[in-house]
Amino acid sequence: MAFESIIYEKVGNVAKITMNRPEVLNAYTEAMVDEMLAAIDDVRKDDAIQVLVLTGVGRGFCIGADIKRPIRPYAGKAIGGVIDLREGIHLLAWNLWRLDKITIAAINGMTACGGLTLALVCDLRIASDQAIFTEASLVNGFLPDEGELYLLPRALGREKAMEMILLGERLSAAKALEMGLVGRVVPNAELEKATRELALRICQGPPIIQRLMKLSLLKQLNMDFWSAMEDTQLAQGVGSNTDDFREAGKAFREKRRPVFKRAGPK
């Protein structure tokens, strides 16, 4: 698939999707969503990839849908608006959420609405000190319909999430860090380097067991404690039969760092 709205690249064990509509702060269109879905599918199928980085070009990470180019491929169909969401931004958010590779949002600038969703579904968030965050749907008369009603309370707690949605205020990167919306803030000029360093550190870990960990963690968010422990037992049953697990034990006994196997380029 030829990409026009994104830049998709793979270097070693790290893949990167860069949203590339800087003139509109990377507001997404139907075409961009389709391209990102294709790129994520490629990451899913490529065993060499351990980490996916998501970022944007220019002053914006992503500000949500491009309202000048509305996504309405199902206009005129029964429950067309529902299907537009289900097959568009909701499908994109779901595919990022369930991807069994580690995902990092490198937040370079303005992040709002659906862009906030794309950041929040990633496993880790590192922000430029110039990044700005807002959920301005409600104050502009729209329901936050791109996933924030699920994601924000889990990231911030109920009251802070309600406040962010009801007031529509802009949060600085420093405030986002204080609230727990992002995990790290770095100088804007260092964002790419810091993100790459973080991705490479993750790539030193055991690839298969990382994937099992992520799948288990996501499932266990909605489990009771006993069910979560039973789920971990099953995942550990798979993990303990991998070369990575055996190498970790051998390295511990030999008092050295483990060297894990990886598919594809190092």
Same domain? For 188 and 212 the reply is no
Same domain? For 172 and 246 the reply is no
User: At 138, phi and psi to the nearest 5?
Assistant: -65, -40
Structure tokens at 246: 């055996």
Tell me which residue range forms the domain holding 69: 6-202
pLDDT, tens digit (0-9, with 9 covering 90-100), for 39-74: 999 999 999 999 999 999 999 999 998 877 666 665
d(CA 250, CA 154): 39
d(CA 128, CA 131): 5
pLDDT at 265: 46
Let me know: does 37 contact 98? Beta carbons within 8 Å. no
pLDDT, tens digit (0-9, with 9 covering 90-100), for 100-152: 999 999 999 999 999 999 999 999 999 999 999 999 888 888 888 888 999 99
Q: Is 216 among the domain residues?
A: yes
CB-CB neighbours of 84 under 10 Å: 19
CA angle 227, 47, 239 (to 5 degrees): 35
Taking alpha carbons only, the member of 205, 42, 4, 221 closest to residue 121 is 221
pLDDT, tens digit (0-9, with 9 covering 90-100), for 197-213: 999 999 999 999 999 99
CATH number of the domain to which 180 belongs: 3.90.226.10
Q: Which three-class secondary structure state does DSSP give residue 17?
A: strand
Q: What share of the chain is helix, strand, coil (3-state, %, to 5)?
A: 50, 15, 35
Please give the tally of structural domains in the chain.
2
pLDDT at 66: 85
Same domain? For 107 and 196 the reply is yes
Q: Is 264 among the domain residues?
A: no
Same domain? For 87 and 130 the reply is yes
Same domain? For 26 and 141 the reply is yes
Q: How confident is the model at residue 214 (pLDDT cuts 50, 70, 90)?
A: very high
Same domain? For 74 and 196 the reply is yes
d(CA 215, CA 35): 24
Q: Is 265 among the domain residues?
A: no
Q: Which residue has the tokens 């979560």?
A: 228
Q: Is 115 among the domain residues?
A: yes
pLDDT at 266: 43
Segment 85-94 shows an average pLDDT of 82
Q: Is 258 among the domain residues?
A: no
Same domain? For 102 and 223 the reply is no
In the chain, % of residues over pLDDT 90 = 68
* Residue with the larger pLDDT of the pair 264 and 41: 41
Let me know: does 134 contact 169? Beta carbons within 8 Å. yes
Structure tokens at 144: 């936050």
Same domain? For 195 and 211 the reply is no
Q: Is 266 among the domain residues?
A: no
Domain termination site, one of 160, 179, 202:
202
Task: Measure CA 251 to chain center.
Answer: 32
d(CA 5, CA 249): 45
pLDDT, tens digit (0-9, with 9 covering 90-100), for 160-193: 999 999 999 999 999 999 999 999 999 999 999 9
Same domain? For 219 and 145 the reply is no
Same domain? For 119 and 87 the reply is yes
Same domain? For 145 and 220 the reply is no
pLDDT at 15: 98
Q: Is residue 75 over pLDDT 80? A: no
pLDDT at 79: 56
Give pTM, 2 decimals. 0.90
Q: Is 260 among the domain residues?
A: no
Same domain? For 50 and 154 the reply is yes
Q: Is 167 among the domain residues?
A: yes
* Per-residue CA distances from 141 to 7, 10, 259 (Å): 33, 40, 54
* Per-residue CA distances from 124 to 119, 151, 191, 227 (Å): 8, 14, 14, 25
pLDDT at 257: 85
CB-neighbour burial class of residue 176 (10 A; exposed 0-12, middle 13-18, buried 19+) = buried
